[in-house]
């Protein structure tokens, strides 16, 4: 990779998610050379992916070109690259567009879907961690209804109109709520030939409550909201397999469905060369100290979902969410400046700003450190916070208009069947 | 296809473009059963595809779910289907989801890119007739710059930064103008490591003027606008081949480029069973009479780009544009009602509402039947007309906001590299 060396130390950041972008922003005006590598040319606002899957938002309005976030900084370089290996001995990364030496490496590669080793589930289910995956899910949902129209086999039709979501975390809950609203508001108008009342939405959670990381009140209320929307909530049920037709569980329950969405777990997106050793901790994450240094390395750091920082309050590591990622990115940026100026580093302190999830129109649950509330006001807070954290004025405007329109019209218009993939069409 | 017969005659429409949708709307409240078939579940507003290719608009904002256009009409049925053959003897269409009998058939399958038999150009060039094609072009343009950063081979870098557009019609002219604005407004900020002044935009026209269908003044002014934007306009040059690297022409001129956009011609998108006979006329179109009846058939009609209606003023058939398509769709709808009521049909009369093209900010040319004007006012008229003809309030709002934002900020933010394809990922 032909990036000329300058007199500044070179910081290579792998990943342009919340953590990587927060760090790059902090470093952009400092006396370091920053090289950010990502396999996409855009930053994805993951908390709103479920709205892309359900036609509420266009993909472009929750993504942002990484180059644009950091334009105007001469010491910042972006390269569209897939990092294939990290060489911790020679301090370089190997990518599909060549090698790159680093002085400091920051792994911010995020998380990927965890199928817990079940390859059949992996092959047959849909995930929702990226924009292409969300568009594929959107297309599949729409295609299922088109196909349901064509078949006279009742079993097949029901399977096409059944949606099974595995995992009662925010992703699963928000997707289930959105599907329920589509069922109510859009399907009867779009498919008058079809008895769309037969469409079923199931959410399956292995433990005894949904939204496990939130308060008991939030969990109960969310379940209540889901049930009011007609979603079937199955607790204490663990999915054991899915062959593309039948979902089997550890109980007698089975589900016939053409669509299984797997939102049951994530794990660190490790990279070869840094994927085995005593620094690998819970959920394939990289164990870091309070300065986000990966255990056993002096110049290799990890931030965000890939990092596992153990604290007294969080013995299994900080939660894999946007807030710790953003906070770690900022803090590491400040620490790197201290490092270069030979000042002592400051340890990271996580400021828990709370958690929230939306279930449907006027229905959300919010846990702030001091207040917990649910319902209409929570729903407004949820929208305000998400608009605030979106990158870019245009994105905020477009998302806002879509939300207002969808609210007034009970509608979701981004309903094109279009399937993206990332390979080049031309050789 | 399990669509139950009613006592009403069945009209099958192939294609949900301007013509097909205009017809279906007219028929939706009448005593006919309407079945609309399209290979996409959305209607595409083709005149703005070039803005998707150049990052100015999201694909979702220029497309609209066909089901939504015609919801609430019990006699309307949509099916997502690829029509593979028309059986004119047994009055049925054969599709990938089964057969369908018709009483009346309306072919509104539109136009496709015409490579004039040059398979090498077809293989190596990019087209811009559909949303997936436009997204592929957008991705290729962005990838080219990412690749240009990586190479130290000057020839290769220049080829990656050269854009050759073949065809000086509205599509070619509007794309060339948009690329020129990207070169000026976005590339220097996004790619500070690259000398983006070296990026070249060429537009090649085989005849002696661009925008051939418009007035001489419009053509001259458009050329003037393009040249002011730094676009190289080559007239009286015909492209003979493109091997993926070098464009050869009928002159000494050659161009080294990684991106050839073929906007040099269209032809009717004919369908097997109705693709050979004396009804095939100029540009693979179906010759129709003044009632849009295909020559030699009583119950088969053609409207829009696929129809070739010869008039005194247009001996080669009406222009292949949105206006004749919309007008024919409406008129045929009215005629079908007359047909059912045993009233005499009214012949189609084309009302030429003029033509327009935009070249860049504050730069457009407009030919109305009575006035011809160019520049800032023309640009406002162009925007107003396009917003007006877009389907859907939400689409209009989102497009309007994007345009205001792009205008104020000299920006285009829909710059994700994402490549769509239409096959299902799951088997």
pLDDT of residue A413 exceeding 90, the answer is no
Give the residue ranges of DSSP H helices in A271-422. 322-340, 376-389, 393-409
What is the arrangement of strands in the sheet containing B98-101, beginning at the earlier edge strand?
Answer: B83-87, B92-95, B98-101
Retrieve residue A315's tokens: 């013995």
Answer for the pair B139, A80: CB distance below 8 angstroms, yes or no: no
Instruction: Compute the count of residue pairs across chains A and B with CB atoms less than 8 Å apart.
Output: 182
Low-confidence ranges of chain B (pLDDT < 50): 421-427
pLDDT at A28 over 80: yes
Closest-CA distance of chain B to residue A249, Å: 22
- Return the structure tokens found at B332: 């045929």
How far does B200 lie from chain A, in Å, by closest CA? 21
Rg (Cα) of chain A, in Å, rounded? 22
Q: Does residue A426 sit at the B interface (CB-CB below 8 Å)?
A: yes
**Dist CA B84 CA B260 (whole Å):** 30
- For A218-245, what is the mean pLDDT? 97
Q: Which residue of B has its CA nearest to A399?
A: B398
**Using an 8 Å Cβ cutoff, are A174 and A357 in contact?**
yes
Q: In this complex, is the C-beta atom of A317 within 8 Å of any C-beta atom belonging to chain B?
A: no
Contact B303, B286 (CB under 8 A): no
pLDDT of residue A426 exceeding 60, the answer is: no
Reported ipTM: the value is 0.90
Query: Nearest CB to B150: which of A1, A124, A139?
Result: A1
Confidence class of residue A392 from pLDDT cuts 50, 70 and 90? confident
Chain A positions touching B80 (Cβ under 8 A) are 143, 146, 417
Tokens of A93: 């990364």
Considering the candidates B133, B174, B181, B223, report the single residue annotated as catalytic. Answer: B174
Contact B262, B127 (CB under 8 A): yes
The tens digit of pLDDT for each residue in A187-208 reads: 998 998 888 889 999 999 999 9
Cβ proximity of B60 and A399 under 8 Å: no
In this structure, which long-range contacts are made by residues A247-252, counting pairs with CB atoms below 8 Å and at least 24 apart in sequence?
A247/A164, A247/A204, A249/A204
Residues B413/A65, Cβ–Cβ less than 8 Å: yes
Instruction: Say which DSSP state A293 is in.
Output: B
* Structure-token pair, residue A426: 């031309």
Instruction: Flag whether residue B150 sits within 8 Å of chain A, measured between CB atoms.
Output: yes
Residues of B in contact with A421 (CB under 8 A): 419-421
**pLDDT one-digit tens code per residue, A98-135:** 999 999 999 999 999 999 999 999 999 999 999 999 99
pLDDT of residue B420: 58
- What pLDDT is stored for residue B385 in this prediction? 94
User: In chain B, which among 45-104 make CB contacts under 8 A with chain A?
Assistant: 58-61, 63-65, 67-68, 71-72, 74, 77, 79-80, 97-98
Which of the listed CATH numbers 3.40.1160.10, 3.30.565.10, 3.20.20.100, 3.50.50.100 matches domain B119-264? 3.50.50.100
Task: Name which residue leads in pLDDT, A354 or A72.
Answer: A354
Give the residue-averaged pLDDT of A150-177: 95
Q: Which one, of B285, B289, B180, lies nearest residue B226 by Cα?
A: B180
* Residue indicated by tokens 């270069």: A340
Shared fold status for B10-39+81-113+267-340 and B119-264: yes
CATH fold group of domain A10-39+81-113+266-340 = FAD/NAD(P)-binding domain (3.50.50)
Q: What CATH number belongs to B10-39+81-113+267-340? A: 3.50.50.60
Q: What is the DSSP letter of A234?
A: E
Nearest Cα residue to B219 out of B209, B233, B206: B209
Average pLDDT of chain A is 94
Fold adopted by A119-264+355-409 = FAD/NAD(P)-binding domain (3.50.50)
What values do phi and psi take at B407, rounded to 5?
Answer: -70, -45
Residue A313 has pLDDT above 80, yes or no: yes
Q: What torsion, rounded to 10 degrees, do the Cα atoms A181, A182, A183, A184 define? A: 50
> Which member of A133, A174, A181, A223 is catalytic?
A174
Q: With contact defined as beta carbons under 8 Å apart, do B395 and A383 qualify?
A: no
Section A78-87 average pLDDT: 96
Q: Which residue of A has its CA nearest to B63?
A: A416
- What are the domain boundaries of chain B? 10-39+81-113+267-340, 119-264
Percentage of chain A beyond pLDDT 90 is: 88
Cα separation of A171 and A29, whole Å? 35
Asked if the model's pLDDT at residue A169 lies above 90, the reply is yes
Which candidate from A41, A143, A413 shows the least CB-CB separation from B424? A143
Q: What is d(CA B297, CA B88) in angstroms, rounded to the nearest whole number?
A: 9
Other C-beta atoms closer than 10 Å to the C-beta of B198 total 13
CB neighbour class for A257 (10 Å; exposed up to 12, middle 13-18, buried from 19): buried
How far is B131 from chain A, CA to nearest CA, in Å? 9
Tokens of B426: 């799951």
Neighbours of B241 (CB within 10 A): 13
State how far the Cα of A114 lies from the Cα of A268, in Å rounded to an integer: 9
**Residues of chain A contacting B40 with CB distance shorter than 8 Å:** 416-417
Contact A395 B401 (CB under 8 A): no
Q: A220 is written with which tokens?
A: 């109960």
Shortest distance between the Cα of A27 and any Cα of chain B, in A, equals 18
Largest CA distance in chain B: 74
CA–CA gap between residue A3 and residue A36 (Å, rounded): 12
Would you state the pLDDT for residue B427? Answer: 32
Q: How many whole angstroms separate alpha carbon B264 and alpha carbon B166? A: 5
A203-223 pLDDT, tens digit each: 999 999 999 989 999 999 999
Concerning whether A174 is annotated as a catalytic residue, the answer is yes
């Amino acid at each position: 990779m032909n990036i000329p060396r300058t007199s500044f130390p070179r910081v290579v950041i792998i990943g342009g998610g919340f953590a990587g972008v927060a760090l790059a922003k902090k470093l952009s005006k400092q006396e370091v050379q920053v090289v950010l590598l990502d396999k996409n040319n855009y930053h994805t606002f993951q908390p709103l992916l479920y709205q892309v899957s359900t036609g509420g938002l266009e993909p472009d309005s929750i993504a942002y070109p990484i180059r644009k976030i950091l334009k105007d900084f001469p010491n910042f370089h972006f390269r569209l690259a897939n990092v294939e290996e990290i060489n911790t001995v020679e301090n370089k990364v190997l990518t599909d567009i060549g090698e790159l030496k680093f002085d400091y490496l920051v792994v911010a590669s995020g998380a990927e879907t965890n199928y817990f080793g079940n390859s059949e589930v992996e092959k047959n289910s849909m995930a929702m961690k990226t924009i292409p995956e969300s568009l594929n899910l959107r297309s599949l949902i729409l295609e299922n209804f088109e196909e349901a129209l064509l078949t006279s086999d009742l079993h097949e039709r029901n399977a096409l109109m059944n949606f099974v979501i595995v995992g009662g975390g925010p992703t699963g809950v928000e997707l289930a709520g959105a599907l329920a609203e589509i069922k109510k508001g859009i399907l009867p108008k779009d498919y008058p030939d079809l008895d769309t009342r037969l469409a079923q939405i199931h959410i399956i959670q292995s433990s005894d409550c949904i939204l496990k990381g939130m308060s008991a009140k939030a969990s109960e209320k969310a379940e209540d909201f889901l049930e009011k929307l007609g979603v079937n909530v199955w607790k204490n049920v663990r999915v054991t397999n899915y062959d593309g037709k039948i979902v089997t569980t550890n109980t007698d329950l089975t589900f016939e469905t053409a669509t299984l969405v797997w939102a049951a777990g994530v794990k660190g997106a490790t990279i070869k060369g840094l994927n085995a050793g005593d620094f690998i901790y819970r959920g394939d994450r990289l164990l870091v100290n309070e300065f986000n240094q990966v255990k056993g390395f002096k110049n290799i750091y990890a931030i965000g979902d890939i990092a596992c920082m153990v604290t007294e309050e969080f013995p299994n590591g900080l939660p894999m969410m946007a807030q710790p990622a953003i906070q770690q990115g900022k803090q590491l940026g400040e620490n790197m400046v201290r490092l270069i100026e030979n000042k002592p580093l400051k340890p990271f302190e996580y400021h828990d700003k709370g958690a929230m999830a939306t279930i449907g129109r006027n229905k959300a649950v919010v846990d702030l450190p001091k207040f917990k509330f649910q319902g209409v006001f929570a729903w407004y807070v949820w929208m305000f916070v998400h608009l605030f954290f979106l990158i870019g004025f245009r994105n905020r405007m477009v998302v806002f208009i879509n939300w207002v329109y969808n609210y007034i019209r009970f509608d979701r218009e981004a309903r094109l069947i279009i399937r993206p993939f990332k390979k080049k069409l031309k050789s």
